[in-house]
Amino acid sequence: MTYKNFTVETDADGIALVTWNMPDKSMNVFTVEVMDEIEAIVDATVADEAVKGVVFTSGKAAFSGGADLTMIKGMFSMLHEEKVKDPANAVQKLFDAAGRMSWLWRKIETNGKPWVSAINGTCMGGAFELSLACHGRVASNAKSVKLALPEVKVGIFPGAGGTQRVSRLTNAQDALQMMTTGQTLTPQRAKAMNLVHQVVEPDQLITAAKQMIKDGLKPVAPWDEKGFKAPGGGIWTPASAQLWPAAPAILRRETAGNYPAALAILKCVYEGLQVPFDTGLRIEQRYFTQIVQTTEAFSMIRSLFISLQELGKGARRPAGQPKSNLSKIGVVGAGFMGASIAYVTAAAGLPVVLIDRDMEAANKGKSVAEGLVTGAIGKGKMTKEAGEKLLSLITPTEDYGSLSDADLVIEAVFEDRDVKKAVIEKVEAVLAEGAIFASNTSTLPITGLAKNSKRPEDFIGVHFFSPVEKMMLTEVIVGEQTGDKALAVALDYVSMIKKTPIVVNDTRGFFVNRCVFRYINEAYDMLIEGVPAVMIENAAKMAGMPVGPLSLNDEVAVDLSQKIMKASIADLGAEAVVPEHMSLINKMVDELDRRGRKNGKGFYDYPAKPLKKSLWPGLKDLYPQQKPADVDVTVLKQRLLVTIALEAARTVEEGIVTDPREADVGSILGFGFAPYTGGALSYIDGMGVKVFVELCERLAKTYGSHFAPTPLLKDMAAKGETFYGRFDPYGAVKTAA
């Protein structure tokens, strides 16, 4: 029998090598068709007496990334359609669909012939669950091999037997840690946890897998044998008596109860370990069905799985533009930001010229890249040879003439219009016709900067976030005259350096910084009201933010906030900044010299290691303090999230953001907006626009007009609309302009 996505070759020893190699995909993923073929392979190998065992592997560099977009979308579409057509049976149909993969893997596990998974690359989600259902697991020791059950990061959990098998193979504490965080394992760590049997050289992978079968591998899972006990003895042991009472408390400390899927993992493991394996799978299937119906799961999967992939694959790329053939990139400005941009560019295999005012400054910039390479080698994330190759692609120079054959030049100089104007003129004096100029600016409108250009249609903004090598988001900013070619080149470049782009139209602060400073400004209001600083920071974390607004302000620099406020007043007038905010920041910077982390003192104090940072005690002396008992923490959480979401809605209303996917993905990747909400607009859609408007109106009465709902929100509330309904990203091909 022939298969579309698999080849099956049986050798003289009766071992069938099943190779997964989807012809139309760069990575193997699960689809309904793939699962149908796997089931057919199981039936065929069981029926064929010549087959003594099966080795399952991948024909691609990666083993598998898990489920396909279409499969995930299909589950949600099916649930929605069934709830309309047949609400009484909708959940039952979801339950049955959710169990398809789980019971297929169980079929492999109980088929009577030994299966060995030969893991040659990244093995995630359902693919790792399939491997766990095999009787033997061999992994290559290549650095590219990563194993994980990361589903909790997109609002669901390992629902194809993962919670039951992992907790029966390794101790419960390690199992819970791995699954509730989505932790990625090296092959060596997976072997230490008993999740992999062998780790071998890449060229020995298939040989070792076949040898396991030749050596008499039993086609029976440990839990199917009489007398099986889970590692550590299961639930009713002294060790478990210490683990299980603490586990929910630890989880709540880490997640503030915002992630239902993480709690479901605890329940699946705790309940599942007390019953036979098949009953444990049913328990898991039941909880998975519940979690898939939550707002958190729907929103997180949409933003952090579906939208993230769509944007990364060029969802906003203008139609009709040929794929860019970038062979040389220029970066002007060899400070920390410019040097980091050069590093990620070279890491993508692109030659890059790094320019500064003199060779000393240019070489200093390259030393930043050298430091990053040294760190990566030290952590085992890069080989010495790869590091040398990367650095060889970075050429420091003071000669602007070296940009004459560059396809794209990125300016990353000081955030000053006059400085940028001088750079634009120098670059354009040598830049070839058709090459693109990009400004890495965080606040200055691109349209204004483009007035210094002789070819504004080739002028665009590409806003990186610091640290560049870690932050996955870039904002691509389209000016009034930016052409489609410039946008296409910018998006192609961002794709090449493996970042996720969001396309925004021109405005002061673009999208991310507009939202970030709303968050920070709300903290200023709270300080001025006398809310204890520790309550502000803790409320933010309880709301789901990765760091509190005062900590974030220290990271971006308190004196930068001052510069931005002063620039806003200069450009827009005194009413552009709340006077009390200006007074607070002037006092912090000018009187107290508290500029943030960079000078060791801001809203926090930063003592020498190993001591940790702590809130500056002097904050409580700036304003009369409220008693903690008089402060409503729920309202603090609402204020911090609502002020960001309102700003995101304003950018949509102003036409700055035209695709709700970009607001959601940008808010999460850009500054960590409560991921369980699915992003700033999904936060509004999730509670319902009408409910959000009512919340805004209540907050506005007490805390100020900046909480007043916008005309767009009021109109959407009256019509019962959502952002993804009114601004449907799939309804038509959209362009940025």
Question: Taking Cα atoms as reference points, which of 454, 455, 412, 408 lies closest to residue 435?
Answer: 408
CB atoms within 10 A of CB 313: 10
What Å distances lie between residue 226 and 47, 136, 276, 281, CA to CA?
Answer: 27, 19, 11, 18
**What are the C-alpha distances in Å from 233 to residues 132, 170, 241, 278?**
20, 11, 11, 19
Distances (CA, A) of 496 to 110, 434, 500: 44, 20, 10
Provide the 3-class DSSP secondary structure of residue 1.
coil
CA-based nearest residue to 564, from 510, 526, 623, 603: 510
On the CB side of 99, CA atoms within 13 Å amount to: 20
Strand partners, 550: none
CA distances from 506 to 75, 380, 490 (A): 37, 41, 15
Q: Rounded to an integer, what distance in angstroms lies between the CA atom of residue 451 and that of residue 481?
A: 10
What is the distance between the alpha carbons of residues 308 and 312, in angstroms, rounded to a whole number?
6
Asked about 463 being catalytic, the answer comes back as yes
φ, ψ for residue 444, nearest 5 deg:
-75, 125
Rounded CA gap, 364 and 343, in Å?
13
Catalytic residue among 80, 135, 197, 463, which? 463
Residues facing residue 7 across a β-bridge: 19
Is beta strand 436-439 parallel, antiparallel or unpaired with respect to 408-411?
parallel
What ranges in 273-358 are assigned the alpha helix state H? 277-292, 295-301, 308-312, 336-347
Euclidean distance between CA atoms 700 and 635, whole angstroms: 12
Nearest to 338 by CA among 431, 409, 427: 409
Cβ partners under 8 Å of residue 729, min gap 6? 315, 659, 660, 661
CA distance 45 to 619: 71
Alpha carbon distances (Å) from 704 to 244, 526, 578: 45, 12, 11
**Angle (deg, nearest 10), helices 32-47 and 100-109:** 20
Around 72, how many Cα atoms within 13 Å sit in the side-chain half-sphere? 24
Counting Cβ atoms within 10 Å, is residue 363 exposed (0-12), middle (13-18) or buried (19+)? middle
The one-letter amino acid code at 361 reads: A
Q: In sequence order, which residues have a C-beta less than 8 Å from that of residue 690 and are 6 or more positions away? A: 717, 720
Six token digits for residue 235: 């639930």
Contacts of 707 (CB under 8 A, 6+ apart): 639, 642, 643, 646, 696, 697, 699, 700
Which helix (H) or strand (E) segment is 118 a member of?
strand 115-119
Helices (H), 313-434: 336-347, 359-378, 384-392, 417-428
**End-to-end Cα separation, the chain, in angstroms:** 52
| Cα 97 to Cα 99: distance, rounded to the nearest angstrom | 5
Q: How far is CA 5 from CA 33, 42, 59, 165, in A?
A: 9, 14, 10, 27
Residue 1 to residue 59: CA distance in whole angstroms: 19
Instruction: Give catalytic residue positions.
Output: 463
